Amino acid sequence: RNKSISFIGLGRMGYEMAYNLFSKTYAEANDSHFVVCDAVQETSQKFCTNFLTQFPRARIGIATTPEEAVLASKTIVTMLPSSPHVQTVYAKESGIIPAIQKLPEAAARETFCIDSTTLDVTVAREVAKDVVQTGAAIVDAPVSGGVTGAKAATLSFLVGGTEEAFQLSHPVLSHMGKRIIHCGPSGSGLGAKICNNLILGVQQIVVAEGMLLGQRLGLDPAILAGVINSSTGGCWASSVNNPVPGALVDQSAPCERDYEGGFATALMLKDMGLATGIAGSQGSPLPLGEAAERLYERVIEAEPELARKDFSSVYRYLEKLATV
């Protein structure tokens, strides 16, 4: 159990992260043991087959429940869609928390959980409190950098937890990312992530609005993008993720591939909801955040296929709304 790591949630992000974590840990210590767990069994099987093709002598197994993952490993990483999944995986009858409670006291105290899911701060803090009560440690460590960063092991991890827990998380996270930032106590990593995505979600909409209005005024999108990006309106949404095909010289933005391969509109809507959901209880007004959340909702209602496309496809929605 000491030399074993379990990874729960092998989705678009988790699959790549687990692969990097396991292959780099294996390179350091080839007697390590790895366990994967996903709600979809075939995903776990596919992961093991691929890993064993590259590392035929590696010791890797499948856990069918989070409980089995806890019994197998003292380090457990979770990368799940959102709050309800984290509550299920940590808290239900066969979840992580009851499984730690069943361990001998010394083994419980050695257990360490890293949750990289982007979820509700309040839920994450409640789960963390319950984990800590078992004697184990936990950090929230949501990521920024997307699937590309997950594949290249260049993610940024925003970590919330005690200094001791942060130090425990560092060697694990460094196999999956480049920047590992201790943001403060439990929930702070998520707080930072949610604030960043709130700003990004609003900026992407207003860049789409400005780029559309400029074209209606007769401006060439490449000239307009050049002006914005060398002026005070410039931001990541205009200079890297510009929503208008042909606006950027390097043509690598998702809009050049029909908005495929970026950050899904559905995930941005989820993150905007996390910000507006928590803001009320903090007495923090979000007039633009709330408007942006409603707009992403409308985008998905009007064109359900945009839910899985990059959130800069809000431009496509606005373009269709535009009247002659």
Residues found near ligand NAD in the complex (CB under 6 A):
8-14, 37-40, 43, 79-82, 85, 88-89, 117-118, 143, 146-147, 263, 267
Q: How many whole angstroms separate alpha carbon 64 and alpha carbon 76?
A: 14
* Least CB distance to ligand NAD at residue 272 (A): 12
Our CB check for ligand NAD shows the closer of 111 and 228 to be 111
State in angstroms the smallest separation of the CB of 263 from ligand NAD: 5
Is 309 noted as a catalytic residue in this protein? no
Nearest approach, Cβ of residue 88 and ligand NAD (Å): 5
Question: Residue of minimal CB distance from ligand NAD?
Answer: 11
Cα–chain center distance at 245: 26
Q: Is the dihedral of CA 54, 55, 57, 59 positive or negative?
A: negative
Which of 193, 270, 309, 320 is catalytic? The answer is 193
- Cβ neighbours for 171, distance < 8 A, ≥ 6 positions apart: none
**HEC string of 117-147?**
CCCCHHHHHHHHHHHHHCCCEEEECCEECHH
- Residues 62, 65, 66: CA angle, nearest 5 degrees: 100
Minimum distance from residue 82 beta carbon to ligand NAD (Å):
6
Residue 141's nearest CA partner among 159, 125, 155, 128 is 159
The maximal CA–CA distance of the chain, rounded, in angstroms, is 71
Least distance (Å) from ligand NAD to the CB of residue 141?
11
Measured from the CB atom, the residue of 96 and 286 that comes closer to ligand NAD is: 96
CA–CA distance, 124 with 151 (Å, rounded to integer): 26
Q: Indicate the residue type of 8.
A: I
Q: Evaluate whether 263 touches 281 at the Cβ level (below 8 Å).
A: no
- State the nearest-atom distance from the C-beta of 108 to ligand NAD, in Å: 21
Strands 143-144 and 155-160: antiparallel
Residue 7, strand partner residues: 36, 77
Nearer to ligand NAD, 81 or 210 (CB): 81
Nearer to ligand NAD by C-beta: 9 or 160? Answer: 9
98 vs 146 by CB, closer to ligand NAD: 146
Q: Strand pairing partners for 157?
A: 143, 180
Question: Is the CB of 80 or the CB of 299 nearer to ligand NAD?
Answer: 80
Are the C-beta atoms of residues 210 and 228 closer than 8 Å to each other? yes
Catalytic residues: 193
